[in-house]
């Protein structure tokens, strides 16, 4: 961590001015360019372990829009964390992983039918050279082209899916819909159903099929410890490459009001984070956080939850690369 010297001016704007991809540069949380966790904005992926990107697409929502503003809000909310090390890991993941902010995926909002391919191509630009990708939606449909890009490299994936909804509604007509994308992924063989887990589910829709997926309903999560839920996920996934998708409406509206389809009875922030921390052994190859809708947020708590989940995932990747905490800090 680069600590400013007493009386010296803070350098500021690490998003543009930092010269080293590693480490944390402290600056005021309320000022400067809001890249995710003050990482450098760059499209030069040389030496980059993890890239974060925004996908500001919300034209497939069935209820409240606004998730196009999600990536911006998640970046802004992340600034209050950008000082490290992080509890309970007791390490700074950015000492181990070179993480960059790749900016957003750009597309023509007037040609909705071309957006899925554009998102897929954008993801391939990043992951084709071996860089790990963390994406911020946008509505949940964006997970479908992201899965296509990842499966093209890693083969069929185990899906670890936190959500209030299963998103496997039947679609025979090529709809761009945030409730159908996992039925499309199943049909195209992008995910392995018996190795996939859907966590926090508390809705059902006519026409939904089980698809041999492992469904951990919200009441089961509430009746179990995080370690017990994680054990069931790890048993299903095994050693397969896995993709993590976190729809923020998996959280109860008390913890995430800023979303398009809030459903009471969901997970607390603690439950979700505690389960995620127990998944260190899973070979995740990519992750997204979706459905953060700032127009319906209060005090930025939904965006803060999204930013924290992404940070926890990056800590998880740093742990897999060897980062370890040193116990209580002095």
pLDDT, tens digit, for every residue of 178-202? 778 888 999 999 999 999 999 999 9
Contact 255, 162 (CB under 8 A): no
Contact 296, 69 (CB under 8 A): no
In this prediction the pTM is 0.93
* pLDDT at 206 (0 to 100): 79
292 is written with which tokens? 């953060």
What domains can you pick out in the chain, each with its CATH number?
35-320 (3.40.800.10)
As a whole number of angstroms, the distance between CA 280 and CA 314 comes to: 11
DSSP letter for each residue of 233-292 = HHHHHTTSEEEEEEEGGGB-TTT--SSSS--SS-B-HHHHHHHHHTTTTSEEEEEEEE--
Q: In what order do the strands lie in the sheet with 214-217?
A: 40-41, 99-104, 50-55, 132-137, 283-290, 241-247, 158-162, 197-201, 214-217
SS3 assignment, position 2 = strand
Q: Which of 119-133, 172-186, 283-297 has the lowest mean pLDDT?
A: 172-186
């Amino acid at each position: 961590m680069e600590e400013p010297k007493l009386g010296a001016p803070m350098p500021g704007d690490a998003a543009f001015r930092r010269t080293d991809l590693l480490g944390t540069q402290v600056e005021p949380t309320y000022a400067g360019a809001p890249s995710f966790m003050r990482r450098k904005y760059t499209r030069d992926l040389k030496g980059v372990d993890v890239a974060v990107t925004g996908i500001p697409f919300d034209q497939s929502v069935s209820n409240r829009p606004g998730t196009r503003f999600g990536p911006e809000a998640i970046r802004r909310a992340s600034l209050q964390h950008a000082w490290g090390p992080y509890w309970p890991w007791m390490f700074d993941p950015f000492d181990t992983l070179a993480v960059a902010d790749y900016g957003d995926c750009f597309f023509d909002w007037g040609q909705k039918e071309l957006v899925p391919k554009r998102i897929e191509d954008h993801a391939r630009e990043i992951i084709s050279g071996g860089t790990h990708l963390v994406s911020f939606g946008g509505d949940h449909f964006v997970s479908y082209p992201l899965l296509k890009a990842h499966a093209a490299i890693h083969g069929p994936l185990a899906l670890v899916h936190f959500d209030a909804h299963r998103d496997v509604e039947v679609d025979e007509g090529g709809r761009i819909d945030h409730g159908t994308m996992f039925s499309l992924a199943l049909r195209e063989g992008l995910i392995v159903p018996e190795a996939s887990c859907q966590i926090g589910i508390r809705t059902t829709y006519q026409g939904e099929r089980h698809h041999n997926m492992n469904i951990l309903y919200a009441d089961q999560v509430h009746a179990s410890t995080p370690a017990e839920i994680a054990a069931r996920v790890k048993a299903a996934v095994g050693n397969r490459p896995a993709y993590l998708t976190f729809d923020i409406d998996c959280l109860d509206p008390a913890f995430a009001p800023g979303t398009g389809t809030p459903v009471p009875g969901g997970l607390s922030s603690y439950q979700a984070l505690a389960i995620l921390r127990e998944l260190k052994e899973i070979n995740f190859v990519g992750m997204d956080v979706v459905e953060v809708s700032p127009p319906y947020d209060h005090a930025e708590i939904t965006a803060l939850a999204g930013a924290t989940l992404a940070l926890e995932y990056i800590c998880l990747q740093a742990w897999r690369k060897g980062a370890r905490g040193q116990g209580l800090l002095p």
